[in-house]
Amino acid sequence: MAFVPLGAASACGQAATVLTLAYGDVFLIGMVKPMEPVASAVLLLIFFGECVHPVKYAAIATIVTGVAMCSADHVAVRDVCARRMSRLRMQVGARISITRHDMNEHLRLQQYLAEAFCLDIRLRPFPTVSNMPSTRQRNTVLAAAATVSAGALTFVAPPSTPSAARIEPGVAASHAANSQPQGSFGAATAGAAVLAAGCAVRTTAKGKGQRKAVKVAAVATDTEVETDCINSIRFLAVDAVNKANSGHPGAPMGQAPIGYLLFAEEMAYNPKDSTWCNRDRFVLSSGHGCMLQYSLLHLAGYDSVAMDDLKQFRQWGSKTPGHPENFETDGIEVTTGPLGMGISNAVGLAAAEAHLAAAYNKPDFTLIDHYTYTIAGDGCMQEGISHEACAYAGHLGLGKLIAFYDDNGITIDGHTDLSFTEDVGKRFEAYGWQVLVVDNGDKDVDAIRKAIAEAKACTDKPTLIKVKTTIGFGSPNKADSHDAHGAPLGADEAEATRKQLGWNYGEFEVPDHVYAAFKKQADAGAEKQAAWDKLFAAYKEKEPELAAQFERAVLNRKLPDNWDECLPKLTEEDKGKATRLHSQDCLNAIAPVLPEFMGGSADLAPSNMTLMKCTGDFLKDSYSERNFRFGIREFGMGAVCNALSLDKTGIIPYCATFTIFTDYMRSAIRIAALSQAGTIFVTTHDSIAVGEDGPTHQPIETIPSLRLIPDLTVMRPADGNETAGAYKYAVERSKNESRPTMMAFSRQALPNLPNSSIENTLKGAYEVVECADPELIIIGTGSEVHICIDAAKSMDQKVRVVSMPSVEVFRAQPDSYKEGLLPKGVPTLSVEAACTSGWGEFSTGQVGINVFGASAPGGTCLEKFGFTAENVKACGEKCLKGETGVLSDGTQGKH
Ligand SMILES: Cc1ncc(C[n+]2csc(CCOP(=O)(O)OP(=O)(O)O)c2C)c(N)n1
Ligand SMILES: [Mg+2]
């Protein structure tokens, strides 16, 4: 160990001591005497850089940034520093731990530093890595560096043992926060901005993909306006949550710089037309922090969020509900709140962009070319759905997807150390993403700006920008703690936060220049849309056919006239087959007619029969194709498909799996219904007739439980015509109403029924065996209808057999029709190879299965559990005798 702080007094010495105690064998620094804060920053940042060996550049760059940042507020000091540095020729001999030995890099860095700050820094690389500090240690040092570089001379005294020598990042960060008003780190000087842009973003070598020239958005706003914009966002969140006495202020306070950059500098959007097809998309995946989004929409000029709406946050009937709802608030793309769902939706939005661009763009006519941005927090990163969807996005190489990870280290329970210590960056690198790191997302706006430019420059990979932020940034007593997560700051703390951030405006007060800054961007968006309109007019001339298709499918979101004529129609004489095969016929009939029809299966295409033969696979190099290969990622698949619909570009998405595994994507199905996404959920193997795979694969409660979801239509067709009817219903409901349909198809062959038709299917239930004055009615669904017909035939009484492919559709029929089909007072037996729950609405007696199935051939399972004409007949006779309730529940099959 060699530690010689030459001439450095207070801060430098303290900082070096901390490092020495924390890590033992540190390094030798030769340091000039004056300017302790600057020196300390340099010293600490060198160490930080040393720890993060793959990013040597960034380390040195950070030094420069550190100096620049320290100097920014103190012009006089900076000048003195510069003069003295140039005179004294600071000598720094740092032990750089690197694995890859590249002297050229070092020489370049030396030169860079020498030129930038008149420094002469000699870096002597050592070939071995020893005692590489852990991530936590590095974070600690980084936080300490932030503290010192912010000029906070009060250093937390470290304990004397290395293991305990931990400065809570939050403590250090809040020192940093306390010590300096927001803004001092911004684009204070052109030099600092350039340096920060060039340096404060760290990219890992592996994350580099195909690149185009990096352009940093022009720094049009001056630092004060920028700071005021960011603080406006923060305080609108603070004030709205305080007023509602409910909500989540912490996330918006930390994410405000990201939000500002997106809505005031980066995104193309038009508040007057939120459905413009080439708008940039934004998804707040950490939906609990929705005051960020509402503040941004308000500042950007969306009529949907006036100041009064912000004051009505979370109140009955307001446009600012507790989590973002696309169907409630214009400008919100997708509904978020269930963590991990939003970032997965963002993958779907980016996939939609990739497809439409590939399908419609022509040389000189770039109709579709936009980015999808999302902000996701620790919770989103932990949820399994984000793993599924983000792995898929990496596989697809969706280069226009830019995700910010709000890395604040806090969730509801407390610090993420409690449960979440994986390296998220490495995870995303492994997925095939570019990963960038912004070390100080609270203040270093330029670094975020630069990261966005880097993200855009990488065209063949999605980018994750891991932004270290402080939850509740600016709050003296709640920042960096779970206290800021989900409770109002309260009046006193809001006041204290105002003081700390130097915010002299009152509650819900936004200075005019802030509105002006956002308006500039919104106006630019409107101009872009106007330019787009002109482009499309020219495109119509040049590409009339494609333009007509684009106009119909994408802009007007209308189905072609008589599109449904493509659907197959069958007679009773046609050979029966499994409804999953009829489904395949329908899909392949629709696919050539509707270019907006796209989707796929979670690795069950050969079982679900969901491949479209007229198109290829939607893959990295073939975005114009339409067969999605989702992999075994049901939940991610559901969220991606919901977003394909919510993109509002007319796409009709479908996704497929076994009926039983809808459980894995249930939350996506529910959100489809809630958020009005027109996803078509195709499922096959819909009952115990699955057979040999056994009870793990045999849905029992699945279909009845999906019927409980409001606004979801469940269809269980019984034959070819009913399958075609189900598709007609599902496609029209998706395209015209943007609502979801779930379909359940059989694995086993079924006969075509008398009287089945598309028209009858669209009534939800109809007489499949007619009977004018029935003594008994038997209702069947799907694969059980033909069993009911056989049972009825074997009975002496007058029996009407009703096929009910959709409970929901039948419920929506006029009362006269419903009463005519199922007259009150007539004994009615329902038969479905599923739980009997719910059937009391339509039947007096029920045949079903309220136990788990069994591993055996499908026919055997049906027979043992009571789905035979004989058992149905026997139960019908009980019904006729006045017996009610569950007459056959499958227990007879249990051995
Ligand atoms: C799927 C899901 N599970 C649980 C929750 C409840 N919840 C809301 S916010 C939150 C913690 C989120 O932590 P983070 O994303 O880090 O947000 P921050 O605390 O940083 O604001 C939890 C568990 C949820 N909204 N969604
Ligand atoms: Mg968090």
Mean pLDDT of 836-863: 98
Question: Would the pLDDT of 161 be above 80?
Answer: no
How far is the C-alpha of 333 from the C-alpha of 274, rounded, in Å?
9
- Best of 407, 412, 442 for a ligand 1 pocket test (most atoms within 8 Å of beta carbon): 412
Question: Would the pLDDT of 15 be above 90?
Answer: no
**From ligand 1's centre to the CA of 373, what distance in Å?**
19
Question: Would the pLDDT of 430 be above 50?
Answer: yes
For domain 201-526, which CATH number applies: 3.20.20.10, 3.30.420.40, 3.40.228.10, 3.40.50.970?
Answer: 3.40.50.970
Amino acid making up residue 604: L
pLDDT at position 146:
43
By three-state DSSP, how is residue 40 classified?
helix
Ligand 1 near 377 CB (within 6 A) = yes
How far is the C-alpha of 373 from the C-alpha of 402, rounded, in Å?
5
Place of tokens 């006193």: 492
Question: Would the pLDDT of 858 be above 70?
Answer: yes
DSSP 235-293: HHHHHHHHHHT-S--HHHHHHHHHHHHIIIII----TT-TT-TTPPEEEESSGGGTHHH
How far is the C-alpha of 369 from the C-alpha of 597, rounded, in Å?
21
Q: In terms of pLDDT, which residue wins out, 118 or 436?
A: 436
Yes or no: say if 162 and 24 are a contact pair by the CB < 8 Å rule: yes
Of ligand 1's listed atoms, the one at least distance from the Cα of 380 is 15
Question: Would the pLDDT of 725 be above 50?
Answer: yes
pLDDT at position 204:
56
**From ligand 2's centre to the CA of 406, what distance in Å?**
7
Yes or no: say if 457 and 214 are a contact pair by the CB < 8 Å rule: yes
Find the DSSP H helices in 543-633. 544-549, 579-593, 605-608
pLDDT confidence band for 402 (50 / 70 / 90): very high
Whether 201-526 shares its CATH topology with 762-893 is answered yes
- Best of 339, 385, 419 for a ligand 1 pocket test (most atoms within 8 Å of beta carbon): 339
Of ligand 1's listed atoms, the one at least distance from the Cα of 341 is 1
Yes or no: say if 861 and 691 are a contact pair by the CB < 8 Å rule: yes
Question: Would the pLDDT of 143 be above 60?
Answer: no
Ligand 1 near 71 CB (within 6 A) = no
Yes or no: say if 357 and 623 are a contact pair by the CB < 8 Å rule: yes
Ligand 1 near 378 CB (within 6 A) = yes
How many residues are present in the chain? Answer: 895
pLDDT at position 485:
97
Residue with the smallest CA separation from ligand 1 atom 18 is 411
pLDDT at position 892:
95
Ligand 1 near 780 CB (within 6 A) = no
Nearest to 179 by CA among 157, 152, 202, 161: 152
What is the value of pTM for the model shown? 0.80
379 is in an annotated binding site: yes
Name the phi and psi angles at 822, rounded to 5: -125, 75
- What residues form DSSP beta bridges with 800? 777
By three-state DSSP, how is residue 600 classified?
strand
* Assigned token pair, 177: 């926060």
For 499, residues 6+ apart whose C-beta sits below 8 A from its C-beta are none
Residue with the smallest CA separation from ligand 1 atom 13 is 411
Mean pLDDT of 34-48: 43
CATH 3.40.50.2000 fits 762-893, yes or no: no
Rounded (10°) angle between helices 445-457 and 250-261: 60
Question: Would the pLDDT of 57 be above 50?
Answer: no
For a pLDDT cut of 90, what percent of the chain falls above it? 75
Ligand 1 near 584 CB (within 6 A) = no
The one catalytic residue among 50, 325, 383, 634: 634
pLDDT at position 212:
72
Mean pLDDT of 154-177: 32
Residue with the smallest CA separation from ligand 1 atom 19 is 411
pLDDT at position 166:
29
Question: Would the pLDDT of 173 be above 80?
Answer: no
Nearest to 879 by CA among 845, 848, 830: 845
Ligand 1 near 132 CB (within 6 A) = no
pLDDT at position 148:
39
DSSP count for the chain of H helices, then E strands: 32, 25
Question: Would the pLDDT of 88 be above 60?
Answer: no
337 is in an annotated binding site: yes
**From ligand 1's centre to the CA of 473, what distance in Å?**
18
Average pLDDT, the chain: 83
Greatest mean pLDDT among 147-161, 189-203, 532-546 lies in 532-546
- Best of 411, 413, 468, 478 for a ligand 1 pocket test (most atoms within 8 Å of beta carbon): 411
Q: Model confidence over 488-508: pLDDT tens digits?
A: 999 999 999 999 999 999 999
Q: Model confidence over 347-400: pLDDT tens digits?
A: 999 999 999 999 999 999 999 999 999 999 999 999 999 999 999 999 999 999
Q: Is 732 a catalytic residue?
A: no
Q: Could you count the other beta carbons within 10 Å of the beta carbon of residue 415?
A: 18
**From ligand 1's centre to the CA of 285, what distance in Å?**
10
For 541, residues 6+ apart whose C-beta sits below 8 A from its C-beta are none
- How far is C-alpha 783 from the chain's CA centre? 37
Q: In terms of pLDDT, which residue wins out, 8 or 849?
A: 849
101 is in an annotated binding site: no
CATH 3.40.50.970 fits 563-617+634-750, yes or no: yes
Ligand 1 near 415 CB (within 6 A) = no
Question: Would the pLDDT of 178 be above 50?
Answer: no
378 is in an annotated binding site: yes
Indicate the domain borders of the chain. Answer: 10-180, 201-526, 563-617+634-750, 762-893
**From ligand 1's centre to the CA of 674, what distance in Å?**
20
Find the DSSP H helices in 594-740. 605-608, 634-646, 666-675, 702-706, 720-737
How far is the C-alpha of 417 from the C-alpha of 447, rounded, in Å?
26
Ligand 1 near 337 CB (within 6 A) = yes
298 is in an annotated binding site: no
Q: Model confidence over 202-223: pLDDT tens digits?
A: 665 455 667 776 655 544 447 8
Least confident of 27-31, 687-691, 703-707: 27-31
How far is the C-alpha of 872 from the C-alpha of 874, rounded, in Å?
5
**From ligand 1's centre to the CA of 384, what distance in Å?**
13
pLDDT at position 210:
75
Place of tokens 């067709």: 717
- What residues form DSSP beta bridges with 373? 282, 402
